[in-house]
Amino acid sequence: MFGKIEIFDKRYSELNKKIYEPSVAADVDEYNKIMKEIRELEPVVLKYREYKQARKTIEESLELLADSGQDAEIKELAQLELDEAKAAVETLSDELKILLLPKDPNDDRNVIIEIRGGAGGEESALFSAVLYRMYTMYAERKGFKTEIINANETELGGFKEISFMVNGSGAYSRFKYESGVHRVQRVPETESQGRIHTSTTTVAVLPEADEVELEINPNDLKIDTFRSSGAGGQHINKTSSAIRITHIPTGMVVECQDERSQYKNKDKALKVLKSRLLRQKQEAQDSAISAERKSQVGSGDRSERIRTYNYPQGRLTDHRIGLTLYKLEDILNGDLDEVIDNLTAADRAEKLRESMES
């Protein structure tokens, strides 16, 4: 492991010198390429340098302790430094192993999130709106931008279905664990008797596909136009600007009616279609590699119940990692970092275990 990191350290030093060369400074593409590589290497290299410093402290402390000419006070300080350095070496070694794990190639991508009402009728649609609000508030906290692609709103303000894009570097890394079935337990707004109901909503998180990754044959697409409509069926646009695209080989159907421009709706719908096809392709590849290997935090399958939101208890439980937090109101207001950080840590721990076993 450390031989590999030494190569990274050497390369990092070379790049930091190269970035100041006049020829590089004059070439924007080359400069950005080098800076990107520096940013990728930096976390590992800086952590490794901390590790090396801790090892050096251990050696120096042992020398002082072995020196019979040193007084008791110096030796006592040396022993303290030795104990701290040994603990640091152990911690830093574990952190380096995690940093060296293969990075998810999708982590830096934008994402498309699709939320659909499940069991529970109108209550499920209302909870879909709650999840949409939670995700957009979280995205705002992280500095991401959101943009609605398509929404099918109910008369009470819920969503039978809503899809939206989250734009920003690292968006997928923060939202990728949200795919699955979200269960809510609460007294519905539509319930007059005050009884607690259970309903479900499904979430799918798709990494945005790059243009070069998927080429779609135009002959494989059936494109229809129709009028945009709002809740209750009233028309919000008198022109046929809404777009429905059917991918004939797979039968996938994507609709977009958020924009007044037919061209913009078509562009958004194609982005969703490409992202769905990319997800399908990646899932097929993963299955081919190994049907058994699944992250500890779940496969991301939309049929898998991943989380429960219990309103009477103010409790959120993530069933994949056994995490329970009694701060439901904060979480629904976009305070998702603690949940996502725990899921990320569990995923890394499982990948580390697998890498050590293989």
Give the residue with greater pLDDT, 112 vs 94.
112
Range from 7-11, 235-239, 308-312 that averages highest in pLDDT? 308-312
Domain at 111-351, CATH class: alpha beta
Give the chain's mean pLDDT: 84
**CA 142 – CA 172 distance, rounded (Å):** 12
Listed range (55-64, 68-77, 207-216, 282-291) with the worst mean pLDDT = 282-291
Q: What percent of the chain has pLDDT over 70?
A: 85
254 to 60, 73, 135, 201, 329: CA distances (angstroms): 65, 74, 22, 19, 33
Q: Which pLDDT band, with edges at 50, 70 and 90, does 111 fall under?
A: very high
Residue 345 has pLDDT above 90, yes or no: no
3-state secondary structure 87-110: HHHHHHHHHHHHHCCCCCCCCCCC
The CATH code of domain 2-99 reads 1.20.58
The residue extents of the domains of the chain are: 2-99, 111-351
Q: Which pLDDT band, with edges at 50, 70 and 90, does 82 fall under?
A: very high
For range 172-197, the mean pLDDT: 87
Q: What percent of the chain has pLDDT over 90?
A: 45
For range 195-210, the mean pLDDT: 88
Q: Which pLDDT band, with edges at 50, 70 and 90, does 296 fall under?
A: very low
